[in-house]
């Protein structure tokens, strides 16, 4: 290398004046581009795309994006399909209030386990198989709704359908293998946000299907069962598309690449160990429970809240509930975008502050939502809350890819599971069998959100710092390479298993932020005056 990279004067960023300002593309020399690779989009040295072209379906990057978010969207539709139809289902199955609450808890609890498993599956078998297997095996559980005849059957089926929410993990993992870290916040936020919209779309879709089927001649107690066939078929169709059109990595499928020796096969025990012993994993598990977790809780309770508190008709309450979920269209990508934007100037510290601000603002609005007595104010606070919580979800997954390279899958899985755990917990404490009203429950939940977001200040990266502390001054310990390669033992390094982590480390140097334009002086170049 003729010049020391990053030393003052070498950066060509901004020289032509035509570089894009926003993070839709990556054009800084800190990212090593591979110009020989034959892809539709410009790629880096890992063959991950450095540009996010939303309306393209080009193989593999953008096609993966669309397959991924639509499968996740489908599972959200299936999991929350029962929520808008509860007024009919509760009469058909003779449900009590606690049956309905328990079913809501069950619908999000199943995926606590399945998201953990999916993380490991992605690391070991690849996201394509993980996604396809899950949605095609959960299609029968959706079809099973036609057999349900009492409360216990209802709870069990909702529990089983809930397993399919683990496609979230395969979705995020798949995005991380296809897109460069500089735009990963925006990409992950968009994919997950559009997937989460399914929770809103279903509140509109299912009542419409129900009405159509009723008009076609079915009685209400049969019509809702038939309506469930539609989400079931979405599952099957998406599974087939993922299998036929998708691939795990930019260069091919995991199995084929592992056979060729291009991708090292890793041991589950090791991958798990490095995930579990990293304290940052656990902080994000907690945090995600209070951004995604509360979003899922609201998906389950908000329609009923507006129906009862403000005496709205069912379809109107459903429309308002749908607005909450549909805000994901822009809110979650917005969170990922602000994460990337803050990172450009302030690096990882910017990402952490961004997350804290968004999630705390969401919590404040949730407190207000429970307190107000007028419908327009309630809708306003609900929308502000949805933006805060969903943007915080996007911001969280703007940071997760940097916690670990080796155990990314399991950490994504654990965080996702934390989201569902938070949802089950908040539904249990504040709504299902609570002695206080739903309105008070919302206020208390908002306070808990604010409290449980504070731990983000404890997340510290030696190479990038934290919300309040600067990065380590040590040249070795303060380098990205040291952080990511420390996950491999000497023997593994000798086998060359750490090459992917090395490549990742060099590609994510931009997390130092704009002010730190120069990399630390390499050890054999000490300035004279020291």
Partner 1 sequence: MAVPAGFLVISLLLSCFAATSYGVYFSSLKETLEVTASPTKGQVLKAGDDKITVTWRFNQTYSAGTDSDYKTIKVKLCYAPISQKDRSWRKTVDLLKKDKTCPHKIVARPYTASNNSFTWTVERDIPSAVYFVRAFAVNAEDQQVAYGQTTDAHKSTNLFEVQAITGRHVSLDITSVCFSAFSIVSLAGFFYMEKRKSKASQ
| Phi, psi at 235, each rounded to 5° | -55, -50
Binding site for partner 1 (CB under 8 A): 87, 90-92, 94, 96-98, 129, 132-133, 136-137, 139-140, 143-144, 146-147, 149, 219-222, 224-226, 229, 232-233, 235-236, 239-240, 243-244, 255-256, 259, 308, 311, 373-377
In whole angstroms, how close is the CB of 378 to partner 1 at the nearest point? Answer: 10
Choose between 311 and 474: whose C-beta lies nearer to partner 1: 311
21 burial type by CB count under 10 A (0-12 exposed, 13-18 middle, 19+ buried) = exposed
For partner 1, give the closer residue by CB, 182 or 225. 225
Closest CB 246 distance from partner 1, rounded Å: 12
b/e sequence 299-322, b meaning 16+ C-beta within 10 Å: bbbbbbbbbebeebebeebbbbbb
Q: How far is the CB of 384 from partner 1 (least distance, A)?
A: 15
Task: Give me the least distance between CB of 207 and partner 1, in Å please.
Answer: 15
Residues 6+ apart with CB under 8 A from 75: 134, 135, 138, 164, 165, 167, 168, 195, 198, 235
CB of 270 to partner 1, least distance (A): 26
Closest CB 380 distance from partner 1, rounded Å: 11
CB of 140 to partner 1, least distance (A): 3
Percentages (nearest 5) of helix, strand, coil residues in the chain: 70, 0, 30
**d(C-alpha 271, C-alpha 411), whole Å:** 9
Q: Closer to partner 1 at the Cβ: 368 or 485?
A: 368
Cβ proximity to partner 1: between 286 and 375 the closer is 375
Alpha carbon separation from 342 to 24, 269, 389 (Å, rounded): 14, 35, 18
In whole angstroms, the minimum distance from the beta carbon of 386 to partner 1 comes to 21
Number of alpha carbons in the 13 Å side-chain half-sphere of residue 418: 20
Q: How far is CA 92 from the centre of its chain?
A: 35
Nearer to partner 1, 136 or 456 (CB): 136
Give the whole-angstrom CA distance, residue 172 versus residue 407.
13
Closest to partner 1 by CB, 200 vs 232, is: 232
HEC sequence for 246-313: CCCECCECHHHHHHHCCCCCCCHHHHHHHHHCCHHHHHHHHHHHCCHHHHHHHHHHHHHHHHHHCCCC
Residue indicated by tokens 């581009």: 33
Taking the least distance from each CB to partner 1, the nearer of 30 and 242 is: 242
- CB nearer partner 1, residue 98 or residue 494: 98
Is residue 154 a contact partner of residue 89, using CB atoms and an 8 Å limit?
Answer: yes
**Cβ nearer to partner 1, comparing 96 with 277:** 96
Beta bridge mates, 512: none
Pair 415, 396: CB distance under 8 Å:
yes
Q: Which residues pair with 34 in a beta bridge?
A: 43
Closer residue to partner 1 in complex, CB, 139/417: 139
Tell how strand 33-34 and strand 43-44 pair up: antiparallel
CA distance to 70, 72, 246, 248, per residue, from 58 (Å): 16, 20, 11, 15
Q: Is the alpha carbon torsion for 61, 280, 514, 528 positive or negative?
A: negative
Compute the least distance from the CB of residue 309 to partner 1, in Å: 11
SS3 label, residue 13: coil
Inter-residue contact 68 to 131 (CB < 8 Å): yes
Q: Is the dihedral of CA 121, 127, 132, 134 positive or negative?
A: positive
Shorter beta-carbon distance to partner 1: residue 373 or 525? 373
For partner 1, the closer of residues 211 and 308 by Cβ is: 308
Minimum distance from CB of 331 to partner 1 (Å)? 25
| Shortest Cβ 437–partner 1 spacing (Å) | 10
Phi/psi for 89 (5° steps) reads -65, -40
- Closest distance between partner 1 and the C-beta of residue 374, in Å? 5
């Amino acid at each position: 290398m003729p010049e020391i990279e990053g030393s003052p004067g070498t950066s060509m960023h901004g020289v032509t004046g035509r570089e894009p300002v926003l993070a839709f593309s990556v054009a800084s020399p800190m990212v090593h581009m591979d110009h020989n690779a034959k892809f539709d989009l410009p790629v880096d040295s890992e063959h991950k795309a450095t540009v996010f072209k939303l309306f393209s379906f080009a193989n593999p990057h953008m096609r993966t994006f669309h397959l991924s978010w639509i499968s996740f969207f489908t599972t959200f539709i299936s999991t929350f399909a029962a929520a808008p139809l509860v007024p009919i289902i509760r009469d058909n199955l003779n449900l009590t209030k606690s049956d309905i609450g328990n079913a809501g808890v069950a619908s999000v609890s199943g995926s606590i386990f399945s998201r953990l498993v999916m993380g490991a599956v992605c690391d070991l078998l690849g996201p394509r198989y993980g996604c396809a297997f899950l949605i095609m095996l959960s299609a029968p559980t959706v079809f099973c709704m036609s057999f349900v005849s009492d409360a216990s059957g209802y709870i069990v089926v909702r529990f089983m359908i809930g397993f399919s929410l683990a496609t979230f993990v395969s979705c995020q993992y798949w995005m991380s293998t296809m897109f460069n870290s500089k735009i990963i916040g925006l990409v992950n936020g968009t994919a997950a946000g559009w997937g989460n919209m399914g929770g809103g779309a279903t509140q509109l879709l299912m009542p419409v299907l129900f009405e159509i089927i009723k008009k076609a001649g079915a009685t209400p107690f049969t019509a809702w069962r038939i309506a469930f066939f539609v989400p079931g078929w979405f599952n099957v169709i998406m599974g087939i598309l993922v299998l036929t059109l998708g691939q795990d990595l930019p260069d091919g499928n995991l199995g084929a690449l592992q056979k060729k020796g291009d991708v090292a096969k890793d041991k589950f025990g090791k991958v798990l160990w490095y995930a579990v012993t990293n304290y940052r994993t656990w902080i994000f598990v907690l945090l995600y429970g209070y951004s995604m977790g509360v979003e899922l809780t609201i998906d389950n309770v908000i329609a009923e809240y507006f129906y009862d508190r403000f005496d709205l008709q069912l379809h109107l309450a459903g429309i308002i509930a749908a607005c909450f979920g549909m805000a994901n269209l822009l809110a979650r990508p917005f969170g990922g975008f602000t994460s990337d934007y803050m990172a450009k100037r302030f690096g990882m510290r910017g990402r952490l502050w961004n997350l804290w601000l968004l999630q705390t603002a969401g919590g404040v609005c949730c407190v207000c939502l429970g307190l107000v007595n007028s419908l327009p104010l309630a809708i306003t606070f609900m929308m502000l809350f949805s933006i805060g919580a969903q943007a915080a979800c996007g911001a969280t997954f703007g940071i997760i890819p940097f916690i670990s390279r080796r155990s990314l899958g399991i950490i994504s899985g654990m965080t996702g599971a934390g989201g569902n755990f938070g949802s089950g917990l908040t539904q249990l404490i504040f709504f299902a069998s609570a002695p206080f009203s739903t309105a008070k429950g919302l206020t208390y939940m908002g306070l808990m959100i604010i409290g449980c977001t504070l731990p983000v200040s404890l997340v510290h990266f030696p190479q990038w710092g934290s919300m309040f502390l600067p990065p380590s001054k040590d040249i070795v310990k303060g380098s990205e390479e040291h952080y990511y390669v420390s996950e491999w033992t000497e023997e593994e390094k000798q086998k060359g298993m750490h090459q992917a982590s090395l490549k990742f480390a060099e590609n994510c140097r931009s997390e130092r932020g704009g002010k730190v334009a120069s990399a630390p002086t390499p050890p054999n170049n000490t300035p004279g005056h020291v």
